Amino acid sequence: MLGVDHPLPARPRRVAVAGVAGVGKTTAAARIAGVLGAPHTEIDALFHGPGWTPRPSFLDEVGELVAGGSWVVEWQYATARPLIARRADLLVWLDLPFWRVTFPQVLRRTVRRRAAREVLWNGNVEPPLHRVLTDRQHILRWAVSTRHKFRTLVPEAHRSVDGPTVVRLRSRSEVTRWIEGPLVESVRRSRH
């Protein structure tokens, strides 16, 4: 497993970004895609249909996505993770401190989205905040209840025979330093 300053073995073409809800996967994925010149697909847009229902075409669309030669996507959803990991050549794990960084970030984002009635994927908006008390799938409860799962999932993907190279980043500054350092350098090296 690589850290923030380790050089990448090659320029990645297919990148998955892992981490708990609210850690900044989509933002990091978009930045990585910009450096690589690769398309970024927000996996939540493929998964969520109107009324927060799962889209029946989700796995087919993930299969089409990962069959491509170059892409960046968030490593989410138990049914999609194996498809993504099988084709990814790099898995970027955002393992930031949960209570100090990630939870405040997901809380602010959820409150902002709800207050502004921000339209998310396929016409969905965040549910009323009081639902955090009754809905086990509410994003705030989901973030807390799943905060440790990647400590098992990422090492398992890394240990698999054809598993992707894994980079573990532990702070926002490490994310920036890695993107501007080893990732940019891998692109630079590939041009020579």
- Are the C-beta atoms of 89 and 12 separated by less than 8 Å? yes
Name the one residue in this structure whose structure tokens are 């020579």.
192
Torsion sign over Cα 54, 136, 147, 102? positive
In a domain, 168, yes or no: yes
Q: Is pLDDT at 160 greater than 90 in this prediction?
A: no
Report yes or no on 178 lying in a domain. Answer: yes
Query: In which domain, by residue range, is 20 found?
Result: 14-97+149-186
Tell me the average pLDDT of the chain.
Answer: 95
Instruction: Indicate whether 135 belongs to any domain.
Output: no
Q: How confident is the model at residue 109 (pLDDT cuts 50, 70, 90)?
A: very high
CATH of the domain at 63: 3.40.50.300
Is 24:96 a contact under the CB 8 Å cutoff?
A: yes
- Find the mean pLDDT for residues 24-38: 97
pLDDT at 162: 80
The one-letter amino acid code at 192 reads: H
Residue 161 forms part of a structural domain: yes
Model confidence at 61: pLDDT above 90? yes
Please, are residues 18 and 28 in contact by the beta-carbon 8 Å criterion?
no
Q: What is the pLDDT of residue 136?
A: 87
Number of domains in the chain: 1
Does 8 map to a domain? no
